Amino acid sequence: MIKFIKNTFIIFFILIIFTSKGFSQKSIIIFKNDYSNNYMNYAIYDLIIKNIFLYSNLKIMNSHSNYSSYNKIKSQIKKLTINNNANISIAYQIQNFKNGILINYIIFDNEKPNEWIEKSVYSKEEDLFISINKILKDIYEISKIKNKITYIKEKDYISLLGYYSQKIILTNNEDNIYKLFYDFHKDNIYFNIDYLEYLTDKSDRTSVDIINGLIKNMQNYINKKKNHYYLYSLGCMHYGKYKVNVILSDIEASIENYNKALKLKNNYYKYYYRLANAYILKNDYDNAIKYYEEAIKLNDDINIIKEFVSLLKRDINKNGNEVISYLKKIIEINKNDEEALEEISKLYEKIGDYDNALIYYNKLFEVINYNLYIINNETKDADAYDRYIFKKNSIKLNIESLKKKIF
């Protein structure tokens, strides 16, 4: 009998054709469920995404949707594809089967709406990379990617299992994860993609030295002259060097390499985001704003939007409307974001738009009440409870004051 893994892993790929800079590109949206208790789910998702990122020009799109049932996706796959203006949709499900893992997947091609393919691939856990490669082969063939496929190697997969198992456990302790695994995985590009982002965010002297090592190891996986990621890594290295030594030529070299990476892969949001960061260090805020906007068009990451809002607030008189617009975008993504709700409430109040201020203060009040309920009934954090009681009373006074002004 087939036993389902507790946390079913589902990936829903939507491939959309669009034209940019004179050539056709396709996009991939991935819908997945919680993999917090199953590192195999995380491994499959992570390796597929990173392989597509490294070796294709497919655009990886962000999604906030979450489907918990593979069968539900199957029953709606045509509708989901059409609603997302997509060409191809793929849904996956992982099952324990005998002594290994069975991955079921369905492929729907909008160009052939009366046909779809259902497949299953089976492997032992230690050979799961073979199943992943079969899925990648189908993705690239359906997407009509002409590049030679770079498959995941056994040594890449096996060496990462310990990393993946710890990744889902130590989600808030990245420093310990990387210190634990770097010596074992310094030549594994699938690990180094994660580590490079962490090191670039830190950008201290030790981080720069490690990035240099990562770049040397990358040459075993990618062509340093033709691959976008190698050039991006050089940009990160020079960015870190500038933050350590404050030499102008380094920030210039960082910007140059980020731009070269963009010429080869213009659909990855992080490249625009890092360019924005580099221009901030150069005090070129016009270009920083430009590239933040491009990053957010490609991926509405809340943390990036909040960084951008902070930049726009440097000149609130000029950028007030844009600040409000991006705060609303955050709230659309997460209606319970306290920080955004509070900022937009205060901003509306400051400019005398009391009706909108009242609307968002009321929303903030509801979120605070909900968090108080969670704290009181689940987390039992006395300090947090006191802070929220104080905040609730403060917001209540704001609401009462606004009502007097309006009515």
Structural domain ending residue among the three candidates 110, 139, 169:
169
Cα–Cα distance for residue pair 300/6, rounded to 1 Å:
30
Strand, helix or coil for residue 31: strand
pLDDT digits (tens, 9 = 90+) for 244-283: 999 999 999 999 999 999 999 999 999 999 999 999 999 9
The reported pLDDT for the residue numbered 64 is 55
Cα–Cα distance for residue pair 284/74, rounded to 1 Å:
49
- Kindly state whether residue 81 falls inside one of the protein's structural domains: yes
Which domain CATH number covers 393? 1.25.40.10
Handedness of CA 245, 176, 302, 340 (dihedral sign): negative
Phi, psi angles (nearest 5°) of residue 20: -150, 130
The reported pLDDT for the residue numbered 40 is 85
Structural domain ending residue among the three candidates 169, 192, 219:
169
Cα–Cα distance for residue pair 52/180, rounded to 1 Å:
27
Query: In order along the chain (407 residues), what is the average pLDDT of each group of 10 residues?
Result: 44 43 62 71 90 90 66 82 72 88 85 84 94 92 84 91 84 78 85 95 95 90 90 98 98 98 96 98 97 94 97 96 98 96 97 97 97 87 91 96 92
Other beta carbons less than 10 A from residue 174's beta carbon = 15
Cα–Cα distance for residue pair 208/211, rounded to 1 Å:
5
- Kindly state whether residue 41 falls inside one of the protein's structural domains: yes
The reported pLDDT for the residue numbered 8 is 44
Cα–Cα distance for residue pair 77/86, rounded to 1 Å:
11
Cα–Cα distance for residue pair 57/95, rounded to 1 Å:
31
Cα–Cα distance for residue pair 263/57, rounded to 1 Å:
11
- Kindly state whether residue 201 falls inside one of the protein's structural domains: no
Which H helix or E strand runs over 382? helix 382-406
**Cβ-contact 87, 17 below 8 angstroms:** yes
Q: Which two tokens stand for residue 216?
A: 């040397």
Cα–Cα distance for residue pair 159/191, rounded to 1 Å:
10
Q: Which residue's entry shows tokens 């704290």?
A: 375
Counted domains in the chain: 2
Which H helix or E strand runs over 93? strand 88-97
Cα–Cα distance for residue pair 54/226, rounded to 1 Å:
11
Query: Residue 366 corresponds to which amino acid?
Result: E
Other beta carbons less than 10 A from residue 406's beta carbon = 10
Alpha carbon separation from 190 to 51, 214, 281, 351 (Å, rounded): 8, 11, 29, 49
- Tell me the residue range of the domain where 78 lies: 1-169
- Kindly state whether residue 160 falls inside one of the protein's structural domains: yes
Which domain CATH number covers 51? 3.40.50
- Kindly state whether residue 106 falls inside one of the protein's structural domains: yes
The reported pLDDT for the residue numbered 145 is 80
The reported pLDDT for the residue numbered 352 is 96
How many C-alpha atoms does 284 have within 13 Å on its Cβ side? Answer: 14
Structural domain ending residue among the three candidates 169, 196, 228:
169
- Kindly state whether residue 358 falls inside one of the protein's structural domains: yes
Which H helix or E strand runs over 104? strand 100-109
The reported pLDDT for the residue numbered 174 is 77
**Cβ-contact 372, 364 below 8 angstroms:** no
Q: Which two tokens stand for residue 147?
A: 């590049």
Tell me the angle at which helices 189-202 and 228-245 cross, rounded to the nearest 10 degrees: 30
The reported pLDDT for the residue numbered 68 is 65
Handedness of CA 266, 270, 272, 274 (dihedral sign): negative
The reported pLDDT for the residue numbered 184 is 79
- Kindly state whether residue 213 falls inside one of the protein's structural domains: no
- Kindly state whether residue 276 falls inside one of the protein's structural domains: no
Q: Which of 316, 331, 395, 384 is nearest to 357 (CA)?
A: 395
The reported pLDDT for the residue numbered 1 is 44
Cα–Cα distance for residue pair 379/388, rounded to 1 Å:
13
